Amino acid sequence: MSGVVPFFLVDVFAREPLAGNPLAVVADAEELDPGIMERIAREFNQSETTFILPATAPGADWRLRSFTAAGIEVFGVGHNSLGAWWWLAEAGRLRLSDSGGDFVQEIGTRRLPVRIDCEGGRLVSVGLTQTAPVFGRVYIGHKELAAALGLAERDLTPDRIPTQVVSTGAAHLLVAVKDRDALARAHPDLPRLARVLRSAGGQGCYLFCLDPGPHTRFFNPTEGIPEDAATGSAAGPLACHLIQHRFMKDYTTVWIEQGHSMGRPSVIEVRVAGELVRVYGQCVTAAEGKLRW
């Protein structure tokens, strides 16, 4: 069986093309089986490729399935989801008022709210609701972790803020470093880091420093992502982590910068109100075409 499907490259958490985190979006994907989706994700070779399908869960508007370039399906709510909803809004697939609208996305077994904001009918941002924060294991093997990251143990600052696994839908290990120099010097041994992450119970590693706002890098060798330019599924946990340890107040908005080390600057907006965690961003559709399979 073969066919043709439209695809789009959407730069997520970006205000101009060729910035942010590039996402391959495949529309009208209902005829594709999971094996073909995996092969298409490998073909695009982006950190993630998202397929848009009709919803199957009651009350949901659209169903999304996302795969990494390694062919692993992921269920976090981050750039993989935000870019797809931006495209749905931009392509006229959503019924929007001049101020936007509220929708529900189906990802895996979850149904989660989506907010589309418009000003005078012009698309401004997409907001994703993540799940309530879950604070997992505090990791103490900092010598091994630093070595896996290509850093010295003194570059890490667990005495200031714990190294901890936190989830708002995807569990990531949050690792504080002392400054942006240490952040820039990180050069992970990916197989070694994957072993650390599995032992800690985290999917990816979100390295961050505060000077004064959060600057970050994300590595996820457990799912075939050497480095990611903007990671919404880790930005939500980081904002909750900072609030939990009183670096920021609850009921606040945090702007997180990422992607500078990859030449793809990104800004992720996270709004936290108690257990309500929402990630907002802008996107640019940079390319489109047809894929034959």
Q: How far apart are CA 174 and CA 167, in angstroms?
A: 10
Considering the entire predicted model, what is its pTM?
Answer: 0.95
Q: What is 4-130+280-292's CATH topology?
A: Diaminopimelate Epimerase; Chain A, domain 1 (3.10.310)
The pLDDT of residue 212 is 82
Q: Which residues of the chain have pLDDT under 70?
A: 1
Contact 55, 63 (CB under 8 A): yes
What stretches of the chain show up as alpha helix (H) in DSSP? Answer: 34-44, 79-90, 142-149, 180-185, 190-200, 232-244
Contact 9, 286 (CB under 8 A): yes
The three-state secondary structure class of 158 is coil
Query: Per the structure block, which two tokens stand in for 30?
Result: 């209902």
Write out pLDDT tens, residues 92-124: 999 999 999 999 999 999 999 999 999 999 999
CA 116 – CA 170 distance, rounded (Å):
23
Residue in 30, 31, 43, 48 annotated catalytic: 48
Q: With the C-alpha atoms ordered 131, 136, 140, 143, is the resulting torsion angle positive or negative? A: negative
CATH level 2 (architecture), domain 134-274: Roll (3.10)
Same fold, 4-130+280-292 and 134-274: yes
Residue 7 has a pLDDT of 98
Domain ranges of the chain: 4-130+280-292, 134-274
What is the C-alpha to C-alpha distance for residues 151 and 186, in angstroms, rounded to an integer?
6
What per-residue confidence (pLDDT) applies to 1? 65
Cα(176)–Cα(267) distance, integer angstroms: 19
Residue 134, Cβ density class (10 Å: 0-12 exposed, 13-18 middle, ≥19 buried)? middle
Q: Is 144 a catalytic residue?
A: no
Do the beta carbons of residue 20 and residue 229 sit within 8 Å?
Answer: yes
Closest residue by Cα to residue 278 from 80, 88, 134, 112: 112
- Residue 65 has, within 13 A of its CA and on its CB side, a CA count of 21
The answer for residues whose C-beta is within 8 angstroms of residue 153's C-beta and 6 or more apart is 142, 143, 146
